[in-house]
Amino acid sequence: MNRRPTPLTAIALAAAAALSLSACGSGEDSSKDNDKIAGADTEADSSTSASPSASDSAERPTIKLPSDVKDVFTPEETGKPVEDAILRDNAELVRALDAAIVAQNPRLPALEFYTEGAGAAAAEKWVQGFKDAGWTVTGTTRYFDRAVKVKSETSAAIGYCADESKAYSKIIKTGKLTGTKVTKDSYVAYNVEVSKNEYGIWELVKITSTRGAAGCQP
């Protein structure tokens, strides 16, 4: 099942980052050997653990998705304030990407709010690919085994898997779903790098994926 109108490699070359959020089963990712998710089995080093921000002054945007688009995240919380803040902002980034695709707006303010630098450029090109193809998204994507590695007070890595077996691309003009066959490539491992800005937001700065990763298979 393929929710991706533009090859991952084209986005990576154009934006200097590999981005394949919300892409199902295309099999275009060549990094098959990288099945281990960064941070998935690693506790945050207590020597670099950040403390909760006392000045998280940002007013986060409200992101609304249509009833046929759903993102499910597990775990939502770990009980550790910093890690939980990182996971919350990561979840909102994923939802912002879907919202931008649904709105056919690569510069959706909510998406720009959660991205920076190469991550922002890649996200914009990603959404533009859907717009150029005349596609949107529908269905449910499940993000699981989410784990955080805190590197410093302003830097962290997140590892997680995505189950895209019930998420689809939809041709806007016809409503037709594209590529509904479930394969091992419907499961993706993600490695994400985030940076905390001056307002306390953990922004996406880099993301890579391994489609068909052994560690994410059911």
pLDDT in tens, 9-60: 233 323 323 344 344 433 334 333 343 333 333 333 333 334 334 345 679 9
- What integer pLDDT is reported at residue 56 of this predicted model? 59
Instruction: Indicate if the pLDDT at residue 206 is higher than 80.
Output: yes
What's the CA gap between 70 and 67, in Å, rounded? 7
Q: Give the pLDDT mean for 108-126.
A: 94
Calculate the average pLDDT of the chain. Answer: 80
How much is the pTM? 0.78
